[in-house]
Amino acid sequence: MSFDALETTLVWNNTLIECMEALGLFLLLGLVLVAVKRLILWRFTSVAEHTENDIDDTIIHVVRSLRMVVLIVIAFYVAVRTLNVPDSVMQGINMVFAVLLVYQVIRTIQIVIQEFFFQHVLRQKLGEDEKNTMAVGVIRTTTRGVLWLIGILFLAQNFGLDITSLVAGLGIGGIAVALALQNILSDLFSSFSIIFDKPFEVGDFIVVDDKTMGVVKNVGMKTTRLEALHGEEIVLANKEITASRIHNLKRMQKRRIVFQLSLPYVTPNAQLKKVSGIVEEIITRIEAAQFDRANLTSLADEYLVFEVVFYALTRDYATYRKINEEILLAVKERFEKEGIEFAHKTQTVRLERIS
């Protein structure tokens, strides 16, 4: 075929030379895109081996998600744009390119959310607990569904479809579903709040609104179950828990304990002055206790009142009771050695002879 023939033969109002130039551009751009992809993967793979952050790993996964067909379509689309193509054919090419572009954008967003948010942020915050993993799975599925819904609506609008009524229908339907499932959704979102914020965990002893107390046995998607002190199971809606005041006793670093010592008025002042020092000495000797104060605080009607305050350096209730018992027994023993007596409630009855 002569050169003149290449200039005069037309394909869709394009000479064969223009078609060959477009073909060359398609091949060159395809090779460049493949080379750039491999270069980025090589560069970031070598960097990722010496870093601890997740940014380079995320970039690697994003680049790897670029399928060969996507690169080919990009190169083909750019090459075809240099030619005179019938509107109907160009419209079809634009539709294919738009579908692949939306698909790749959604895949990229999913990878970024998965690698950075779910793996890095949520896993570090929530750990690998089965219930937490389930919550992360629910959020991941919901996020994926929302992204694809947005992508489909975007494509429908670009294809010339009227999505106004569809969006309005989805909005009305969403409101109706939300109203019908109001209580369930409220408990569901409350469970997410409990899982992410972690006001308590399984095994913690909590008090809800100063009335309900027990050990947390399970945090579900709708309810939280406690084991009460008497052994019965208490089931609370997650919505009620998040709206209540919660005391998490297991997270106490130390317990403040106050008790009183009652001494009779006949106790000599010399012995009264020893009481505070004796109590401080006893509490200081105990490793898991921290002395705060011991003072004569009241001159009651029948006896003298000393108030003792100390901290048990434990969050365990049974250990705290043992520490308290050890201190009380030591105080009694020391008072007996010092000859200090405790006050006893007495009642005087006067009998008068009637003549």
**Per-residue pLDDT tens digits for 290-324:** 999 999 999 988 889 999 999 999 888 888 899 99
Question: What CATH architecture does domain 255-338 belong to?
Answer: 2-Layer Sandwich (3.30)
**Which structure tokens are listed for 41?**
């993967």
- At 276, the pLDDT band (50, 70, 90 cuts) reads very high
Give 203-258 pLDDT, tens digit per residue. Answer: 888 898 888 889 998 888 788 899 988 888 999 888 888 888 888 888 888 889 99
Question: Which residue type is seen at 336?
Answer: E
Give 53-69 pLDDT, tens digit per residue. Answer: 667 777 777 788 888 88
The contacts of residue 326 (CB under 8 Å, 6+ apart) are 286
Q: What is the pTM of this model?
A: 0.49
- At 183, the pLDDT band (50, 70, 90 cuts) reads low
The average pLDDT across 29-41 equals: 87
Question: What b-and-e string marks burial along 66-99, b requiring 16 or more CB atoms within 10 Å of the CB?
Answer: beeebbbbbbbbbbbeebebeeeeeeeeeeebee
Residue 328 near residue 312 (C-beta atoms within 8 A): no
With 0-12 / 13-18 / 19 or more C-beta atoms within 10 angstroms meaning exposed / middle / buried, residue 241 is: buried
Question: What CATH architecture does domain 191-250 belong to?
Answer: Roll (2.30)
The pLDDT, as a whole number, for residue 114 is 73
pLDDT at 89 over 70: yes
Provide the residue ranges of all domains of the chain, joining segments of one domain with +. Answer: 3-167, 191-250, 255-338
Q: Which residue has the tokens 């959310």?
A: 113
